[in-house]
Amino acid sequence: MTVNASAVPAPQGPSGGSGRIRRQGARSGRRPDSHNGMAAMLLTPTGIILLALVIVPILFLIFTSFTDFNQRSLFTGEFNVAGVKQYATVLGDSTFWMALLRTFLFTAALVVGSMLIGMAVAQMMTKLGTVMRYLVTFVLIFAWAMPNVASSVVWNWLFQPGYGVINWLLTRLRIFGDLSNLAWSNTTTLAFVCIWMLVVWQAVPYIAITLYAATMQLDPSSLEAAQLDGAGPIRTYWQIVVPLISPSIMVIGMLSIIWDFNVFNQIWLVSQGGPSGSTSTIGVFTYKKAFINFDIAQGAAISVITVIILLALTSVYVRNLLKSGEDL
C-alpha cells in the first residue's frame, strides 16, 4: 500500500512539531545578529580607548621617527622629513647598544629573581594555615598595590646615606664595617642591586598569588602518587607541580619580560641612570634623548625599535602557545 506523504497533515498548534521547528529556526537565525550587536556595543568603549591612547600615539610615534622633530618643533610646529636618518644614527651609536645590552641583562636578572622568589612564596603559601595564609596574602596585595613611584621614594629613604635604615642595620651587623654614609646610587653594582631588590619586591606579590591560585587547582592525587613513589617535596614540586602549572608560568614570565624590559620609574628615581650613565637601561636612555636633550625624533626612533624587540619576544610566546594548543 502506498501512502501519499503530502496527504499526511503536519502537526499544528502550540505543541506542533513543525511550528516549534520554525520558531526555533527563526530564533536561532536572530541570535547571531543580536549577539554580534551586543558584543560590538560592549567592545566599543574599549576600542575607542585603545584607538585614542594606544594606536594613534604609536602611529604618531612612527611618523615622528622619520622626521627631525626637536625642541624647535614643539614651539613652531615646523619639522622636516628625514627618512631613516634617525634610525641610522641610533644604530650607529655605541651608547645605544650598551644601553640595550644592559637592559637585556638586567631584565634577565629581574625575571629570574622575581619568578624564583614568587614560586617559592606560592609554594610556601600552600603549607600555611588559614590565618597565616590570609595574613601573607594581605601583605602581598598591600605591597603590590603600592604605586611604584611611592615605593621608589620610600626605597630611597631606606638606603639614604647618613640616616638610612639599611645602612644602619648593615653597620650594626659589624660585618662590612661602618656603612652609615654609603651612597648606593654612586656605585654601579650597588645601584643595580638596590634597584633589583626594589623591582623584585614589587613583582613577587603578583607572581606568588597567581601561581598559588594555579597550584591550588591541581588534582591532589597526582601529588599523592608522587609521594607514594618516594619523591621528596623538592622533586615533587619540580617534576609534578611545575609542569602542571607551566601555562601560568609562561604567561607570567612573558608579562614579566615586558614589564621589566620597560622599567623606568624605579631606575630614574633611585639613580637617574648614574653614575655616569652606567645604570641607564633603554627606557632611561630614551627619556634622556627625548626629554633632556630634546632630540625627540631620535627618541621616537629608539621607542619604535623597542616596540619591535618586544613584539619579537611576544611572538615567540604566542608561537609556543599556539604550538601547545595544536599538540593538545
Question: What does the radius of gyration of the chain's CA atoms come to, in whole angstroms?
Answer: 29
87-327 architecture in CATH? Orthogonal Bundle (1.10)
Give the count of alpha carbons within 13 A of 280, CB side only. 17
Please tell me the predicted confidence (pLDDT) of residue 32.
58
Residues 6+ apart with CB under 8 A from 103: 261, 281, 282, 283
Residue 67 φ/ψ, nearest 5 degrees: -125, -175
Please state the pTM of the whole predicted model: 0.82
Domain boundaries, the chain: 31-61, 87-327
Torsion sign (Cα): 92, 95, 98, 104: negative
Residues 6+ apart with CB under 8 A from 153: 269
End-to-end C-alpha distance for the chain, whole angstroms: 55
Could you read off the pLDDT tens digit of each residue along the chain, which spans 328 residues?
Answer: 444 444 444 445 444 444 544 444 444 445 556 677 777 777 788 888 888 888 998 999 999 999 988 888 878 888 888 889 999 999 999 999 999 999 999 999 999 999 999 999 999 999 999 999 999 999 999 988 888 899 999 999 999 888 889 999 999 988 888 888 899 989 999 999 999 999 999 999 999 999 999 999 988 888 888 878 777 888 888 988 999 998 899 889 989 999 999 999 999 999 999 888 899 999 999 999 999 988 999 999 999 999 999 988 888 777 777 776 554 4
Q: CA–CA separation, 65 vs 135, rounded Å?
A: 49
**H helix runs in the chain, sequence order:** 17-50, 56-64, 71-76, 85-91, 94-125, 130-145, 148-158, 165-173, 188-216, 220-228, 233-236, 242-244, 246-261, 265-270, 282-287, 296-327
Question: How long, in residues, is the chain?
Answer: 328
Q: CA–CA separation, 91 vs 117, rounded Å?
A: 36
Buried b (16+ CB within 10 A) or exposed e, 204-231: bbbbbbbbbebbeeeeeeebeebeeeeb
3-state SS, 90-144, equals HHCCHHHHHHHHHHHHHHHHHHHHHHHHHHHHHHHHCCCCHHHHHHHHHHHHHHH
Please tell me the predicted confidence (pLDDT) of residue 40.
76
